[in-house]
Amino acid sequence: MSERLLFWGSGSIPCWKPMLVLAEKGIDYESKQISFSEKGHKGPEVTALNPRGQVPTFKDGETVICESNAICFWLESMYSKQGTELIPSDPKEKAKVLQKAFESAENMQTKAMQGVLYYYWRTKEEDRKEETIKENLDNCRNELTVWDKYLGECGHDFVAGKQFTLADVFFFPFLAWAWRMSLDFNKFPNIKKYFESVRERPSVKATWPPHWNEGEAQPEKMAYLKSL
């Protein structure tokens, strides 16, 4: 039994991020998958460590950390010499990686997820406004265009350069989630190339949300992003 323990749920972007870090660095841990539909994240095992009842919830020896970004930074700092170096030591490279990591965390979340899909899921059909839907889709398209341009510039293989870094850990799960929601990647050729290459990475394959392999998303969850 490992002294490290991670509670996680399938398809959660916050869970996927530390899982990618653990895989990239080759850190062994006991993996405890909870079921969101059975409210496993609100169960006694998780809430004993994380009173908010959320996943990821991570324990390394006596240390508990539950915020996805915090876990990523902590792991990279504690296991800096192990596996992939996710934050380069060179100042300029480090700046680039931190910039792109937080730029995706901020914009992909608010513009792609919250703006488009959360609005669709959380607003009753009769309350949805055409004007808001259009504005949200425009924002999402513009945001993806920004990243498509980034990935096209300088022939970058990864979000912040020639190496897989924390910026990819923060960016890729959003992209995979958009793919799951049936975004047409042909509209963003550089993103498509990046996605198809990075999805074959061993760390990504090893942590791919298991229920995504079992079938497509429910059609009603897909319709909105498909129209982008």
**Positions that interact with its own copies (CB under 8 A):** 52, 62-70, 73-74, 77-78, 91-92, 94-95, 98-99, 101-103, 105-106, 127, 129, 146
Tell me the closest approach of the beta carbon of residue 67 to its own copies, in angstroms.
4
Q: Which is nearer to its own copies, 35 or 123 (CB)?
A: 123
Tell me the closest approach of the beta carbon of residue 99 to its own copies, in angstroms.
5
Is residue 27 within 8 A of residue 83, CB to CB? The reply is: yes
Q: Which is nearer to its own copies, 111 or 192 (CB)?
A: 111
Tell me the closest approach of the beta carbon of residue 133 to its own copies, in angstroms.
14
Q: Which is nearer to its own copies, 98 or 222 (CB)?
A: 98
**Which alpha helices (DSSP H) does the chain contain, by range?**
13-25, 44-49, 68-78, 91-107, 119-122, 130-152, 166-180, 189-198, 202-207, 219-226
Tell me the closest approach of the beta carbon of residue 105 to its own copies, in angstroms.
8
Give the N- to C-terminal CA distance of the chain in Å, as an integer. Answer: 46
Secondary element (H or E) of residue 64: strand 63-65
What interhelical angle do 91-107 and 166-180 show, nearest 10?
A: 30
